[in-house]
Amino acid sequence: MAEATRGLKRAPHRRIGGMKAVVADPTGGPENLQSMELPTPTPGEGEVLIKLQAIGVNFIDVYFREGLYRAPERPVRLGNEGAGTVEAVGKGVHLRPGQRVAYAMARGSYAEYATVPAKFVVEVPDSVSLDDTAAVMLQGMTAHYLTHSTFKLERGNTCLIHAAAGGAGLLTVQMAKIAGATVIGTCSTEAKAQLAREHGADHMILYTKQDFLEEVKRITGGKGVAVVYDSVGKTTFHKGLDCLSPRGMMVSFGQSSGPVGEMDPLLLSQKGSLFLTRPSLANYISSRDELDWRASDIFKWIGEGRLRLQIHKTYKLEDAAQAHRDLEGRKTTGKLLLKP
Ligand code: NDP
């Protein structure tokens, strides 16, 4: 009754007390990930308490674990993506306990429960499983904004997608094909190249063995590409600028090999009046309309069989350190999930 007066609605079966969570304590290598018991959070105004069924692992979790991206709290809560059912809601939230929901870009999903601002939460249609949803929210909406907003691909465009067999990569390849573009991808092994081809890539380059600039010039007849989607950073960024045709766009959206470092804007002029952007998903789902547009396209394309999900492996929550080792060790393709 006291809760009802605070505007809190709860599911009847909720476990009272603590929950399992994995945190970085202190920041550093995967060995610093620790399982601990934390109090089950209570949703505040505008928040949803979600009982997580599946948790997405993303490279951004590595950056928070290492301390490259700074978190204010100690120990550092990890995980930016999850899917599950509504357990309770705070005041002003129009969701009901038991509803199937998912979200990305609110930290703290390496746990049994997470409180998430309702503005990040979408309802999941019955046609899509919660595991598949946890595998596609963050990287799928990223692939969507890259190909449909940052540089809106059209038929006739050729794009270069680095790490094309990775989580964000395989989804970006497929969405670039949905937009009608020609896709050149890069990756480190023939097995990864084969997987990316199976997901629609037109040309694959093994950037660990071949010079990707020479290959791009050869494939495009010297013209270069309209856009480079670069999540690798340090080892690919500068050569990527040379792959662009005049007035092309470098979309530097990650740094799996390390930070790019500083760059003089004059270089963009010298290399053909290029555009450079360093986008973040948060700025592309900041309005409800944009979030709903991206999520609904993704659910629709999964339903139509146009978007195929590649789940590399599902780990137990307490094995998050191994998931990080595998991701950083370039051993994975597609998505890694944790199960609480
Ligand atoms: P991936 O599944 O793409 O894993 C990283 C891949 O990068 C590896 O599999 C590997 O593929 C490639 N890679 C190249 N060099 C290295 C290296 N030195 N160390 C490790 N990996 C390397 O991860 P995610 O899909 O989770 O994320 C990819 C990138 O996209 C990350 O940098 C992430 O931060 C970024 N991102 C950015 C977002 C944004 O909005 N800005 C949102 C989502 C992701 P290969 O073996 O084929 O080279």
- SS3 annotation, 237-299: HHHHHHCEEEEEEEEECCCCCCCCCCCCCHHHHHCCCCEEECCCHHHHCCCHHHHHHHHHHHH
Region at 113 (left for phi over 0; alpha for psi -120 to 50; beta for the rest) = beta
Structural domain includes residue 134: no
- pLDDT beyond 50 at 11: no
Name the residue with the closest Cα to ligand 1, atom 3: 166
The confidence band for 115, taking pLDDT boundaries of 50, 70 and 90, is very high
The answer, yes or no, to whether any atom of ligand 1 lies below 6 A from the CB of 313, is no
- Do 170 and 67 lie in one domain? The reply is no
176 CA → ligand 1 middle, Å: 18
- Do 57 and 186 lie in one domain? The reply is no
pLDDT at 17: 73
Structural domain includes residue 64: yes
Cα–Cα distance for residue pair 100/93, rounded to 1 Å: 15
- pLDDT beyond 50 at 213: yes
Out of 12-21, 90-99, 252-261, pick the least confident. Answer: 12-21
pLDDT at 9: 53
Residue ranges making up the domain that contains 249 = 139-282
Q: What is the CATH number of the domain that holds 31?
A: 3.90.180.10
Structural domain includes residue 217: yes
Which whole number is the average pLDDT over 191-199? 98
For residue 258, the ligand 1 atom closest to its alpha carbon is 18
- Do 203 and 277 lie in one domain? The reply is yes
pLDDT at 5: 32
More confident residue, 10 or 289: 289
- pLDDT beyond 70 at 258: yes
Q: Ligand 1, from 229, 330, 333, 337: best to mutate by most atoms within 8 Å of Cβ? A: 330
Residue with tokens 């949703």: 43
Domain count within the chain: 2
Average pLDDT over all residues of the chain: 95
Pick the closest to residue 86 from 71, 73, 70, 103 (CA basis): 103
Structural domain includes residue 268: yes
User: What pLDDT digit, counting tens, does each position of 271-330 carry?
Assistant: 999 999 999 999 999 999 999 999 999 999 999 999 999 999 999 999 999 999 999 999
- Do 192 and 273 lie in one domain? The reply is yes
pLDDT at 6: 41
- pLDDT beyond 70 at 253: yes
Structural domain includes residue 61: yes
Which whole number is the average pLDDT over 102-108? 97
The confidence band for 201, taking pLDDT boundaries of 50, 70 and 90, is very high
Pick the closest to residue 106 from 155, 55, 32, 152 (CA basis): 55
pLDDT at 305: 95
Taking residue 246's Cβ as centre, other Cβ atoms within 10 Å add up to: 10
- pLDDT beyond 70 at 14: no
- pLDDT beyond 70 at 13: no
- DSSP, res 40: P
- Do 202 and 95 lie in one domain? The reply is no
The answer, yes or no, to whether any atom of ligand 1 lies below 6 A from the CB of 124, is no
Last residue of a domain, one of 264, 282, 300: 282
Taking residue 119's Cβ as centre, other Cβ atoms within 10 Å add up to: 16
Q: Which helix (H) or strand (E) holds 143?
A: helix 137-145
The answer, yes or no, to whether any atom of ligand 1 lies below 6 A from the CB of 169, is yes
pLDDT at 12: 44
The answer, yes or no, to whether any atom of ligand 1 lies below 6 A from the CB of 327, is yes
Cα–Cα distance for residue pair 8/172, rounded to 1 Å: 39
pLDDT at 3: 36
- Do 167 and 241 lie in one domain? The reply is yes
Question: What are the backbone angles phi and psi of residue 195, rounded to the nearest 5°?
Answer: -60, -45
Which whole number is the average pLDDT over 187-214? 98
Q: What is the CATH number of the domain that holds 166?
A: 3.40.50.720
Last residue of a domain, one of 282, 299, 331: 282
Give the type of residue at 186.
T
256 CA → ligand 1 middle, Å: 5
Residues 6+ apart with CB under 8 A from 217: 224, 243
- Do 315 and 252 lie in one domain? The reply is no
- Do 225 and 331 lie in one domain? The reply is no
More confident residue, 89 or 6: 89
pLDDT at 16: 52
